[in-house]
Structure 1
Amino acid sequence: MPKVNVYNVLGEQVGEMELKDSIFGVEINEHAMYEMVKNHLANRRQGTQCVKTRAEVRGGGRKPWRQKGTGRARQGSIRAPHWTGGGVSFAPKPRDYSYNVPKKVRRVAMKSAFSSKVVENEMIVLDELNLAEPKTKEMAKILANIKAGKKALIVMDEKNDNVIKSVKNIPNVKATLVSTLNVYDILNYDSFIITKGAVSKVEEVYA
């Protein structure tokens, strides 16, 4: 079983925690993680782009000049794609880019992401994280105490509005819950900061 140190908000080690091999010690499957990152980015796309085809562009109903005898190339409409102001060939239209990934692949990817953070020593476990009031300065001090990286993801087991509000004004720091955790966020941040309660919840959910 992999072991990690547990710290308090002052950056002092207050103990150790054993992690489940089946979640934090699995063989890392890079392809599964790639599939989940690709899926996450695809699902985020709005797909609202829209360009007009020659059928939708205004004008061009009359043939610009007669077919023969002018010495110029034959033309049927001034709204053909090769004309300025004409329609676009194979124009992009609104579409849904989202798709589903099999549940087994999702689970393998999540476990691989967790394990990669343990292997790379980017996982920081806190005994607890509570703030009496929203204070950006206080949160920045805590991150400095635990030596978090420039990009940090804070994972909690329960919603804490004070923590969420305190990180909003800190660049490249995000607070999230176990229930909304995804592979993209885990891999995108340098430091994976998680509370003991959240670790227990992760082991319960992905057991």
Structure 2
Amino acid sequence: MTILTQLNYEVRDSQGNIIPNKSVPLSLKINESAPKYLIHKAIVIQDRNRRQGNASCKTRSEVRGGGKKPWKQKGTGQARSGSSNSPLWKGGGVTFGPKPRSYEKKINIKEKQLALKTAFFNNMHKVVVIENLSAIASQPKTKDLIQLLKKLLLSDVDKKALIVAHEINENLTRSTRNLPNVELLYSHNLNLKEILLAKRIVITQDALTNLTQK
């Protein structure tokens, strides 16, 4: 069964106060059983695509040596052997060992976008929408960012927080890089895993609008 659901997020100013009569809608048209499956699928693919896939073992043909037969075929009392780089020997090749490969897997753009929207929708209780971050973006000051987070997050300021901005800003990046519990992402490269791991999410109005329009 397909259902249409909608949420309206209240928008706050740089002081943490709710702006009257201002909100950002987030609507989803989804199947009741689809969201959890899509989130799981997106997370699995994201983890697969991060794997380097450069593990490598040498086979018996790649191990150095082994050209000479260790002993004659009969008469020694030992098991017959033709090469010292056999997988049965110490220092020999590896049977069915890993070789460099790509673990990359693709996901449909619409599925990925729906997974992101569903993650925001299911975690609405930890999302705080701010009008803009112009006060922080104008100059790189970690101190100002901490004060803003205290106003917005109140008692949750020490928990893992995710800041989502719309446009790339060097000052904002420099303000957050020294904070161990704060992660900064931009709306064009949202990370589903960071959304799920964050205890609180601070997102700008433009970033949330950009997400809803996709």
TM-score when normalising by structure 2: 0.85
- Matched residue, 1:7: 12
Q: Structure 1: where are the runs of 5+ without partners?
A: none
Name the CA shift for 1:26/1:178 in 2 (closer, same or farther; >3 Å).
farther
Name the CA shift for 1:186/1:19 in 2 (closer, same or farther; >3 Å).
same
Q: Indicate if the aligned counterparts of 2:12 and 2:18 stay in contact, CA closer than 8 A.
A: yes
Structure 1 stretch 161-170 or stretch 184-193: which is displaced more?
184-193
Name the CA shift for 1:172/1:49 in 2 (closer, same or farther; >3 Å).
farther
**Deviation for aligned residue 1:39:** 0.7
- Larger strand share, 1 or 2: 2
- Matched residue, 2:179: 170
Aligned residues: 202
Superposition pairs of residues 36-55 of structure 1, within 5 angstroms: 36-55=42-61
- Matched residue, 1:133: 139
- Matched residue, 1:124: 128
Q: Deviations over 1:124-160 (max 9, x none)?
A: 1112112231122222222222225522221111122
**Deviation for aligned residue 1:184:** 2.3
- Matched residue, 1:68: 74
TM-score when normalising by structure 1: 0.87
Q: Indicate if the aligned counterparts of 1:117 and 1:192 stay in contact, CA closer than 8 A.
A: no
- Matched residue, 1:100: 106
Correspondence 1:181 to 2:190: yes
Q: Deviations over 1:45-100 (max 9, x none)?
A: 11112111111010111111112221122222211112221111112111111111
After the TM superposition, list the runs of 4 or more consecutive aligned residues in structure 1 that deviate by more than 3 angstroms.
25-28
Q: Deviations over 1:147-205 (max 9, x none)?
A: 2552222111112211111111111322121111132232232222101121222222x
Tell me the amino acid that sits aligned with residue 79 of structure 2: A
RMSD: 2.1
Write the distance in 2 (CA, Å) between the matches of 1:83 and 1:142: 64
Name the CA shift for 1:3/1:190 in 2 (closer, same or farther; >3 Å).
same
Q: Percent same amino acid among aligned pairs?
A: 37
Q: Indicate if the aligned counterparts of 2:39 and 2:119 stay in contact, CA closer than 8 A.
A: yes
Q: Indicate if the aligned counterparts of 2:56 and 2:100 stay in contact, CA closer than 8 A.
A: yes
Q: Structure 2: where are the runs of 5+ without partners?
A: 1-5
Q: Indicate if the aligned counterparts of 2:57 and 2:94 stay in contact, CA closer than 8 A.
A: yes
Correspondence 1:82 to 2:91: no
Q: Indicate if the aligned counterparts of 1:51 and 1:91 stay in contact, CA closer than 8 A.
A: yes
Write the distance in 1 (CA, Å) between the matches of 2:207 and 2:7: 17
